[in-house]
Structure 1
Amino acid sequence: MGEMFECVLFTASLSKYADPVSDLLDKGGAFQSRLFREACVYHKGNYVKDLSRLGRDLNRVIIVDNSPASYIFHPDNAVPVVSWFDDMSDTELLDLIPFFERLSKVDDIYDILRKQKTSS
């Protein structure tokens, strides 16, 4: 994905925990930036990932997350995924590759995201 997109790790975890884990998981350097809890907005008891803080055109930004509370400010940009904890056979992100490839070719992600959500 790092070849098709500017990938940013945006987590509500603390950097002291998430940074070393990210180093282990991202051996290929796909993530160009990392944002941690400090970059989130604390809103009604949740740490929300405010995509407008990225300084990017939101027509071209998606958030892949298992927590709807994390993207409550930008639900139209979300690609919801199921939590994968302890499921070593999970392939959801791999299954989404053709979808991400389609998204990489458009200037406005909203139409494709809407169609994906209505077909799910």
Structure 2
Amino acid sequence: MGELFECVLFTASLAKYADPVSDLLDKWGTFRSRLFRESCVFHKGSYVKDLSFLGRDLNKVIIIDNSPASYVFQPDNAVPVASWFDDMSDTELLDLIPFFEKLSKVDDIYDVLRQQRTLS
């Protein structure tokens, strides 16, 4: 996906934990930036990833997350996914590749995301 998008890791985890894990997972340097809990907004008991903090045109920004509380400020930008624990046969992100490829070709992600929600 790094060839199609500017990928940013945005996690509610603390940097001291998430940075070393990210180093292990992102061997190819796909993530152009990493944002941690310090970049989140504490709102109603949850750490929210405010996408406006990215300084990007939000009609070109998606958030892939398993927690609706994480994207409560911009729910229309969300691609919800199930939580992953240890199912090595899980292919959810791989299954989403054609959808992400479609998103990479549009100027405004909102129409495509709305269509996807009506199909789900």
Normalised to the residue count of structure 2, the TM-score between the two structures is 0.99
**Equivalent in the alignment of 2:72:** 72
1:82-93 alignment, distance < 5 Å: 82-93=82-93
- The alignment-based identity, stated in percent, is 84
> What is the deviation of 1:113?
0.2
Large movers: runs of 4+ above 6 Å:
none
CA distance in 1, matches of 2:94, 2:27: 17
CA distance in 2, matches of 1:89, 1:15: 29
1:45-92 CA-partner distances (Å, limit 9, x unpaired): 000000001000000000000000000000000000001111111100
**Equivalent in the alignment of 2:20:** 20
Q: Which amino acid aligns with 1:85?
A: F
**Equivalent in the alignment of 1:8:** 8
Normalised to the residue count of structure 1, the TM-score between the two structures is 0.99
1:1-120 alignment, distance < 5 Å: 1-120=1-120
Other structure's SS at 1:34 match:
strand
> What is the deviation of 1:101?
0.1
CA distance in 2, matches of 1:74, 1:87: 29
How many residues align structurally? 120
CA distance in 2, matches of 1:115, 1:89: 28
Q: Which blocks of at least 5 consecutive residues in structure 2 are unaligned?
A: none
